[in-house]
A and B are shown apart, each in its own frame.
Chain A
Amino acid sequence: MVSLRPAEQIMRLDRMGASHQTRLSFMRALVRRMSKERWRFERLRFDLDPDGYGTSIFAIHTPNRTYSLIAFTHALDPDQRTDRVIAEAWDATFSLFDGVPTDADLARLAHNTPKQEVGRFSSTELVLARANKSLRAFEHVVECLADGRQPDIDFLARVGYLMRTTAVYGSGKFGCADRGRISERSDTRGPFQVEMLTVYLIRWFTMELVEYVARARGGNRAAKLDAAVKRFLGIGNATGLGMAPFLVKHPILINNWVLARETALARVRALKLASEEQLSELHKLMRRVRRHLEEWNVDDEIQQARTSTLRNEMEDFERRLSDDGLLSEKRPWDMLYLYAETNYSLEGQELAASLLMEPHAQLVDDLAETMCSDRSTCLKPSMSVAELQASITTRYGWALMRDYDDPDEQRYFWYYSEDKLEPRFSDRFAEPGTEYEMPLAFGRDIAALDMELARAEPSSSVAKFLLVHPEFRHVVRRVQTTANFPYSEIHDSLIASDVRPIDLLRFKLAFFGASKFDPKSDLWTRITMFQGAPMPDDLGGPGSDDWFFPVKPEVTR
């Protein structure tokens, strides 16, 4: 047995901000399911003008039901093209429909989907999304294909996508279906599976769109996009603070994500022997990972420096893998992991962990089924004050040891913007609005609860305590809800002066399976999704699940 890494090591913001995709990431799990269950893809409608503007319906048939991506593409004035949440128009807007839409559904959505947040939706719509073209990349591909040539892969590799989503909304937003509608379906019960499916379909739609526009422009001379290029191109995404509160508000779900990953790592580390086959696969992966790291270049100085260190560490890790004695070591994977933990940066440690899981599908993949949770929070009114306080003392040492009288410990506050109902983050001592603070500072609030409990009668019940102190109700609920979930809390303050929200985004996006993190500030990042994933035609074939850390293909123009 190898113990799971403890929460006090794992659930720290700096390590969360060094997370990498794993084979348990949600995009990987979706693609595996699509391959295994032979989901069928069908283009039901593609009514576009020669510039690619119009209405399309792309359907996916699972063994159980059909979902349809309804896409509206629009001419967009360049002045209106922005990735910011304040945008009011986009190159393309999408709804993921539960089933096949009727003409009436389509007419209704044609009126609402392009309006995004201002539109209204119904429980047959599972996801609402929008995307903008990477104008230079899209136009370059159209121009080349229309001329019968393949695009410049070096140029495309610097961008990584032809379209980037700027929002993907699910779970009841703007009248769309609540999570409850899909949470019992095997197709969609995993975390964020309908959102990932939507992005996957947008990627397919984008490839069809670019070829269509090229054909409209070039006629018979037009070429099709090389299959390797298609596979290499992902969908870009710009992600901001909207994601961060989610992690705090879903403690059991987050526990299940991390528990699955940590269990996977512990299973691999516990293996007594490494096979030649696994070692060979890992060697192959190492070469690809190192090439991927060479291709991962961003403007952000912090990330670029970290990536540079990571390149050196992976060079070293490859040397360790080539050690002749590795196969004869007792628990060789554990030895490798512990070496990384001792010698590498946090990025290096987390990438080593991801790598070690990769050749162990049989040992790991079943854990993807354990990563969802529809358990709600709970309150136990009959618990005694003494029991509650003991629970805090046992599990919240990290919160109790901070000095919340120090202004730096409470520098920031989180709130929702009035216009877009999006989370925001401000300096408590410089900006107004602290009275609207969202309850995300559980460390601080649990420390305050602990002080108040110390003044209460120990044998009294939580019910009686809350009658007098209703202001602690959400905090008590938090402590009681998380009691049996070791990875449910982030062991750092989310309001201290040194907090970097980008760490929260990176953690969540890594679980999604994103790559090429490209931070634009401490508050938002660009990423690429499904880069390297098989296109619908390739699903189920060899290599369907082999797209960990994809690299630029060799293409003849």
Chain B
Amino acid sequence: MTTGRRHVSMGEIEFVVTRAAFGVGAPFGIAEDFAYAVQAAARFGIDPTPAALACLSHLDREPGSRQLTVAECGTEVIFSGPGRLSAVFTGPSLSDFGHLPQFRKTVIRALNVDHPLLVAAALVSGRMKNCIIE
């Protein structure tokens, strides 16, 4: 990935983003998945740095943004929270639920996410298709 005039390798993205996410309170496995999502965005030619930094700042300022609630409503599964959801946590969970056989034909919806781009990137890195991010 080239951001501004600096070339950054995928290995560096993984190393730095994982530790940055861990540093703002994400458990290590979540931090790894966030790094994979940032890599996925970079592979698509999108510079994920501004969104990733803002997302990590939000999680740092609002630790409550990690609290996800899941509700099954008819043909939908809805992820929501007390405030804006952190993409750091929403991406991996959304991807996990999308892999459950009972939800293969269900719409999975995440409401009020801070950085939808990074949730989409998490779904790409998790190879999910049946999710809507708002």
Contacts and interface: CB of A to CB of B under 8 A. Distances in A.
- Report if A and B associate in a common complex: yes
A382 B104 CA distance: 11
B11 A466 contact: no
Contacts of A381: 95-97, 99-100
Nearest to A465: B96
Interface stretch (A34-42, A273-281, A402-410, A472-480): A472-480
A482 interface: no
B15 A421 contact: yes
B33 A172 contact: no
Interface string A444-480: 0000000000000000011100110011111111000
A123 B42 CA distance: 15
B11 A472 contact: no
A292 interface: no
Nearest to B15: A421
Interface stretch (B24-32, B48-56, B57-65): B24-32
Given A381-B96, A382-B99, A122 B32 contact: no
A368 interface: no
A467 B27 contact: no
A179 B29 contact: no
Nearest to A466: B96
A172 B11 contact: yes
Interface string B61-73: 0000010101000
B96 A462 contact: yes
A470 B9 contact: no
Contact of B7 (A120, A379, A461): A120
A397 interface: no
Given A379-B96, A463-B97, A476 B29 contact: yes
A123 B1 CA distance: 10
Interface string B8-42: 11111001000100000011111011000000000
B29 A475 contact: yes
B105 to A, nearest CB: 14
Interface string A150-176: 000000000000000000000111111
A519 to B, nearest CB: 28
A461 B12 contact: no
Interface residues of A, number: 34
A122 B1 CA distance: 10
A131 B26 CA distance: 39
B81 to A, nearest CB: 12
Given A473-B28, A474-B27, A467 B70 contact: yes
B74 interface: no
A473 B70 contact: no
B11 A474 contact: no
Contact of B9 (A176, A421, A462, A472): A176
B116 interface: no
B11 A173 contact: yes
Nearest to B101: A382
B62 to A, nearest CB: 16
A470 B27 contact: yes
A479 to B, nearest CB: 12
A416 interface: yes
Contacts, number: 81
A171 B11 contact: yes
A98 to B, nearest CB: 13
Residue from B6, B8, B29, B68 with most neighbouring chain A CB atoms (10 Å): B29
Contacts of A379: 96
Contacts of A380: 99
Contacts of B99: 380-382, 463
Nearest to B39: A178
B77 to A, nearest CB: 11
A454 B99 CA distance: 23
Interface in A367-400: 379-382
B19 A416 contact: yes
Interface in B88-131: 89, 92-93, 95-97, 99-101
A121 B7 CA distance: 7
B96 A470 contact: no
Contacts of A209: none
A475 B70 CA distance: 23
A463 B96 contact: yes
B68 A180 contact: no
A179 B68 contact: no
Contact of B27 (A175, A179, A461, A471): A471
Nearest to A476: B29
Nearest to B93: A467
Interface string A416-428: 1000010000000
A471 B12 CA distance: 23
Contact of A175 (B12, B30, B93): B12
Given A381-B100, A470-B27, A178 B9 contact: yes
Contacts of A477: 29, 32
A525 B13 CA distance: 30
A178 B32 CA distance: 17
A467 B96 contact: yes
Nearest to B98: A381
Contacts of A122: 7
A175 B28 contact: no
Which 6 residue pairs of A and B lie closest in terms of their CB atoms, listed nearest first? A172-B11, A473-B29, A474-B29, A172-B9, A463-B96, A381-B96
10 contacts: A120-B6, A123-B9, A173-B9, A173-B12, A379-B96, A466-B92, A467-B96, A473-B27, A473-B28, A473-B32
Interface of B: 6-12, 15, 19, 26-30, 32-33, 66, 68, 70, 89, 92-93, 95-97, 99-101
Given A120-B7, A173-B9, A473-B27, 19 more contacts: A120-B6, A123-B7, A173-B12, A175-B9, A175-B12, A177-B9, A178-B11, A381-B100, A382-B99, A463-B93, A463-B96, A466-B92, A467-B70, A467-B93, A470-B30, A473-B30, A473-B33, A474-B28, A475-B29
